[in-house]
């Protein structure tokens, strides 16, 4: 048994809160939402591309027809893990490692990299959001390999954070990625490359 | 009183004594000046990019305040959502109870080590020490926390606990101490930040790959969906939140937000205020457990530990709105000169000076409310507009009150007012607080009202008079 008397602490905390708030009326105080829904201008895909590049990630723009070539070029021969549901026609010919049956952490750690799609992207902040949906796979796939190539459809790019959250389903596990892993812990200056993928490559498909 | 937590480090010198020592440490002052200077510039750059920054701050402040006003309801809703999504919610009245809950959860897994994501709440309750007493090793995985843990040091900043260390010192710590905890640092390690980050990556990799239990904090939790949020940079958070089988999250009760959609405000305010980025590299959100992805056993421990007592103080409760961005530390002239250790608490800087005395009782941290010049820079930087100088003045009065054993509020108010009028800095505070709260100093000949009840708390309060910039505010702005 984890806790001898869980109800007691729960009731105690709740009643302490109520006692602490005895001076507060029940009415709701209005939340002031005078902020903008978006800080993006007209060229959302262009803004996304430049903001991702600001994080030292590589960004390429391609049409759907050019996509397989752009992917092959970006991979430079890496054998990347392909999550379930990733469109096979986008990949160069070959036998790609899959996550079926699920790869072990050691196998993920040893992989050349991973390729994935995304759920949503955010232009103003240069962020990719993964929700473990088709083409993305479970979270560990895009975490342990040191190289991540992410294919983002232009239509998936939201202007800003509020619009992006509206498109997401909070029930799914969500990972917001803004550039390669980094730290500001040494003299508060940003250095790229700690535990997450140290190389982030983004291809924006203009006509999807 | 509560036992062995870390809100105040027992045996620490008082702030004035510790500050004197710190001021004599020129290396420390140099490290701090460099680091806080860097982050200040970055923050100003990215906050200036958003022309509605003030509206976002207003939204953040009013959201937090409104949440706290009905905190019990939001917590109950959170409990319901997390439970429905397959998680288990625990309630802890104090540090000892939270530590006991976490320790028993870890022991129940049969594991004897855990990986940790940086969390102020677990620092506050001294969880690592409690786990160690039960024979459980806790490995910090945030780079700055790792530096502090390796050197057997104390945190000195809420976001970058090793801010007092420069790259040369970090290299020495890695070379000397990594081997005691696992994989040693490479012998040819240089002090370039990229090299140091690589050494941390290699050292922690083996721990991530074998970890079965993780302990995290939480930046936010949405009551309507049960979604918990961790904001980070390095990917150590993702490792801890994704790879282990069991995840235990310890969260202060004030972190709850009413709705998932409220994150649209805080995901703009927090990264820009804390590391000065448009967005931090990684933010993870999870709702209960997801089959086939991540930990299948999720526990959320809701921690009080002095928070309800803070909530009962009609002025001081505002400090519970804090989102731990650390902007107030980075702009504080006192913090920049003394560093974090002088505050003798896991919560240093301006927010620590108002939070620590409230969490432990003013008599246990009596000098902290005086660890400020009341210049107001913290308030201007705070993304949720916590009026730290106002709370400081309020707590000073409490300390004076406790010392004189004279519980006469009237008398005290007069004393405060007397000090205000004789101190140019306090006068500046009074003018600013007055202008912002519509409670102009001496407007009704009631100097004794300063610092006044929390002017934005009550739903039925009058609309404030639009602020007129005082000469002093203008002076600060144009300096
Ligand atoms: S008090 Fe405000 S500025 Fe200071 S850490 Fe908290 S949220 Fe940030």
* CA distances for A118 relative to A93, B220, B267, angstroms: 22, 23, 19
Pairing relation of β-strands B137-140 and A120-122? Answer: unpaired
Strand partners, B290: B293
Helix segments in chain A, DSSP class H: 6-20, 44-54, 67-75, 105-110, 161-167
What φ, ψ does residue A162 adopt, rounded to 5°?
-60, -40
- Which pair of tokens denotes residue B197? 């980050």
Mean pLDDT, all residues of chain A: 93
User: Is residue B164 within 6 Å of ligand 1 at its C-beta?
Assistant: no
How many whole angstroms separate alpha carbon B143 and alpha carbon B237? Answer: 11
What is the reported pLDDT for B31?
A: 82
The angle at the Cα of A190, spanning A188 to A196, to the nearest 5 degrees, equals 125
Domain assignment of residue B339, yes or no: no
Chain A CB contacts of B190 under 8 Å are none
Q: Which of A13, A28, A140 has the CB atom closest to B66's CB atom?
A: A28
Question: In angstroms, what is the span from residue B367 Cα to ligand 1's centroid?
Answer: 20
Element (H, E) at A204: strand A199-205
Domain assignment of residue B396, yes or no: no
Do B289 and B419 share a domain, yes or no?
Answer: no
What is the reported pLDDT for A5?
A: 56
Domain assignment of residue B351, yes or no: no
Domain assignment of residue B223, yes or no: yes
What is the reported pLDDT for B208?
A: 95
CB proximity list for A85: less than 8 A, separation 6 or greater: A117, A133, A134, A135, A136, A137
Residues of chain B with pLDDT under 50: 1-3, 406-479
Chain B CB contacts of A179 under 8 Å are 281
Domain boundaries, position B165:
4-307
Coil, strand or helix: which one is A61? strand
Atom of ligand 1 nearest to the CA of B319: 1
- Full strand arrangement of the beta sheet holding A199-205: A58-62, A199-205, A147-153, A113-116, A80-81
Longest dimension (CA), chain A: 69
Domain assignment of residue B30, yes or no: yes
Least confident of A25-39, A143-157, B419-433: B419-433
* CATH fold of the domain at A40-205: Rossmann fold (3.40.50)
What φ, ψ does residue A43 adopt, rounded to 5°?
-85, 80
How many whole angstroms separate alpha carbon B362 and alpha carbon B135? Answer: 34
Domain assignment of residue B211, yes or no: yes
What is the torsion angle, in degrees rounded to the nearest 10, for the CA atoms of residue B68, residue B73, residue B76 and residue B82?
-70
How large is the ipTM?
A: 0.95
Do B98 and B240 share a domain, yes or no?
Answer: yes
What is the b/e burial string over B317-349, where b = at least 16 CB atoms within 10 angstroms of the residue's CB?
A: bbbbbbbbbbbbbbbbebbbebbbbbbbbbbbb
What φ, ψ does residue A115 adopt, rounded to 5°?
-115, 140
Q: Which long-range contacts (CB under 8 A, 24 or more apart) does A92-101 make?
A: A92/A68, A99/A137, A99/A138, A99/A141
- Which pair of tokens denotes residue A88? 């096979």
Number of compact structural domains in chain B: 2
Question: In angstroms, what is the span from residue A88 Cα to ligand 1's centroid?
Answer: 48
Treating both helix axes as pointing N-terminal to C-terminal, what angle do B424-437 and B471-478 enclose, rounded to 10 degrees?
100
Which of residues B249, B280, B307 is at a domain's end? B307
Domain assignment of residue B54, yes or no: yes
User: Is residue B353 within 6 Å of ligand 1 at its C-beta?
Assistant: no
Which of residues B307, B334, B361 is at a domain's end? B307
Which of residues B307, B337, B358 is at a domain's end? B307
How many whole angstroms separate alpha carbon A182 and alpha carbon A194? Answer: 6
With bands split at pLDDT 50, 70 and 90, how would you rate the model's confidence at A42? Answer: very high
Question: In angstroms, what is the span from residue B385 Cα to ligand 1's centroid?
Answer: 8
Q: Let me know: does B278 contact B233? Beta carbons within 8 Å.
A: no
* CA distances for B172 relative to B166, B167, B181, B204, angstroms: 10, 9, 15, 18
Q: Do B282 and A181 touch (CB under 8 A)?
A: yes
Coil, strand or helix: which one is B341? helix
What is the b/e burial string over A5-19, where b = at least 16 CB atoms within 10 angstroms of the residue's CB?
A: ebeebbebbbebbee
Mutational pocket test of ligand 1: of B273, B356, B390, the residue with most ligand atoms within 8 Å of the beta carbon:
B273
Helix segments in B85-142, DSSP class H: 95-109, 120-124, 127-133
Q: Let me know: does B155 contact B161? Beta carbons within 8 Å.
A: yes
Residue nearest (by alpha carbon) to ligand 1 atom 8: B325
Task: For B57, name the nearest residue in chain A, comparing CA atoms only.
Answer: A35
What is the reported pLDDT for A193?
A: 81
Residue with the two structure tokens 């991702």: A52
**Residue-wise pLDDT tens digits, A3-27:** 455 569 999 999 999 999 999 887 7
What is the reported pLDDT for B477?
A: 35
- Full strand arrangement of the beta sheet holding B88-92: B88-92, B297-303, B246-252, B213-216, B113-116, B137-140
Tell me which of B101, B144, B308 to substitute to probe the interface with A (most A C-beta atoms closer than 10 Å): B308
Domain holding B38: CATH number? 3.40.50.10420
Do B301 and B426 share a domain, yes or no?
Answer: no
Residue nearest (by alpha carbon) to ligand 1 atom 2: B382
Q: Do A175 and B284 touch (CB under 8 A)?
A: yes
Domain assignment of residue B167, yes or no: yes
Q: Do B55 and A194 touch (CB under 8 A)?
A: no
Coil, strand or helix: which one is B264? helix
DSSP assignments along A98-150, one per residue: B-SSPPPHHHHHHSSEEEE--SEEETTTTEEEE-S-TTT-SGGGGTSSSEEEE
Distance, first Cα to last Cα, chain B: 45
What is the reported pLDDT for B343?
A: 86
């Amino acid at each position: 048994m984890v806790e001898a008397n869980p109800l007691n602490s729960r009731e105690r905390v709740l009643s302490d809160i109520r006692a602490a708030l005895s001076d507060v009326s029940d009415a709701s105080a209005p939340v002031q939402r005078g902020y903008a829904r978006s800080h993006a201008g007209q060229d959302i895909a262009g803004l996304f591309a430049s903001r991702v590049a600001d994080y030292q990630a590589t960004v390429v723009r391609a049409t759907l027809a050019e996509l397989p070539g752009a992917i092959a070029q970006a991979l430079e021969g890496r054998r990347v893990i392909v999550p379930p549901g990733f469109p096979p026609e986008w990949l160069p010919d070959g036998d790609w490692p899959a996550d079926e049956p699920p790869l072990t952490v050691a196998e993920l750690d040893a992989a050349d990299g991973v390729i994935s799609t995304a759920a949503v992207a955010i232009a103003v902040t240069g962020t990719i959001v993964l929700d473990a949906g088709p083409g993305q796979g479970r979270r560990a796939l895009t975490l342990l390999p040191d190289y991540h190539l992410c294919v983002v459809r232009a239509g998936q790019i939201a202007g800003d954070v509020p619009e992006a959250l509206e498109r997401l389903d909070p029930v799914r596990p969500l990972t917001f990625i803004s550039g390669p892993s980094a730290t500001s812990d040494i003299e508060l200056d940003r250095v790229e490359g700690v535990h997450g993928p140290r190389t982030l490559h983004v291809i924006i498909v203009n006509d999807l | 009183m509560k036992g062995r937590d870390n809100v105040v480090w027992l045996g620490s010198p008082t702030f004035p004594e510790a500050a004197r020592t710190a001021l004599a440490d020129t290396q420390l002052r140099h490290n701090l000046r460099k680091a806080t200077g860097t982050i200040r510039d970055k923050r100003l750059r990215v906050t200036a990019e958003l022309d509605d920054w003030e509206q976002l701050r207003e939204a953040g402040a009013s959201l937090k305040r409104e949440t706290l006003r009905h905190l019990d309801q939001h917590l109950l809703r959170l409990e319901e959502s997390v439970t429905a999504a397959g998680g288990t919610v625990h309630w802890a009245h104090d540090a000892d109870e939270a530590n006991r809950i976490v320790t028993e959860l870890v022991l129940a897994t049969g594991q004897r080590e855990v990986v940790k994501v940086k969390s102020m709440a677990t620092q506050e309750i001294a969880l690592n020490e409690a786990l160690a007493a039960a024979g459980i090793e806790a490995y910090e995985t945030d780079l700055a926390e790792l530096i502090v843990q390796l050197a057997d040091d104390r945190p000195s900043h809420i976001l970058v606990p090793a801010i007092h260390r420069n790259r040369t010192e970090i290299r020495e710590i890695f070379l000397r101490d990594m081997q005691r905890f696992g994989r040693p640092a490479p012998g040819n390690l240089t002090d370039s930040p990229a090299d140091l980050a690589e050494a941390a990556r290699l050292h922690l990799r083996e721990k991530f790959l074998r970890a079965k239990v993780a302990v995290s904090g939480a930046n936010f939790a949405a009551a309507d969906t049960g979604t918990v949020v961790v904001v980070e940079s390095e990917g150590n958070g993702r490792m801890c939140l994704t790879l282990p089988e069991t995840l235990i999250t310890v969260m202060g009760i004030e972190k709850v937000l009413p709705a998932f959609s409220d994150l649209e405000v805080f995901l703009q305010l927090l990264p820009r205020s804390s590391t000065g980025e448009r967005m931090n590299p990684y933010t993870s959100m999870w709702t209960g457990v997801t089959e086939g992805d991540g930990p299948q056993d999720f526990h959320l421990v809701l921690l009080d530990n002095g928070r309800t007592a803070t909530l009962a103080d009609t002025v001081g409760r505002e400090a519970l709105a804090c989102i731990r961005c650390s902007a107030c530390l980075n702009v504080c002239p006192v913090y920049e000169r003394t560093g974090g250790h002088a505050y003798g608490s896991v919560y240093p800087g301006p927010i620590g000076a108002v939070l620590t005395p409230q969490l432990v009782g003013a008599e246990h941290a009596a000098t902290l409310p005086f660890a400020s010049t009341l210049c107001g820079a913290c308030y201007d930087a705070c993304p949720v507009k916590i009026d730290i100088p106002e709370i400081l003045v309020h707590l000073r009065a409490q300390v004076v009150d406790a010392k004189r054993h004279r519980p006469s509020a009237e008398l005290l108010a007069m004393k405060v007012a007397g000090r205000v009028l004789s101190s140019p800095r306090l006068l500046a505070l009074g003018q600013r607080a007055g202008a912002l709260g519509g409670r102009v100093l001496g407007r009704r000949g009631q100097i004794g009202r300063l610092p006044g009840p929390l002017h934005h708390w009550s739903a039925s309060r009058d609309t404030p008079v639009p602020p007129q910039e005082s000469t002093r505010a203008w002076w600060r702005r144009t300096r």
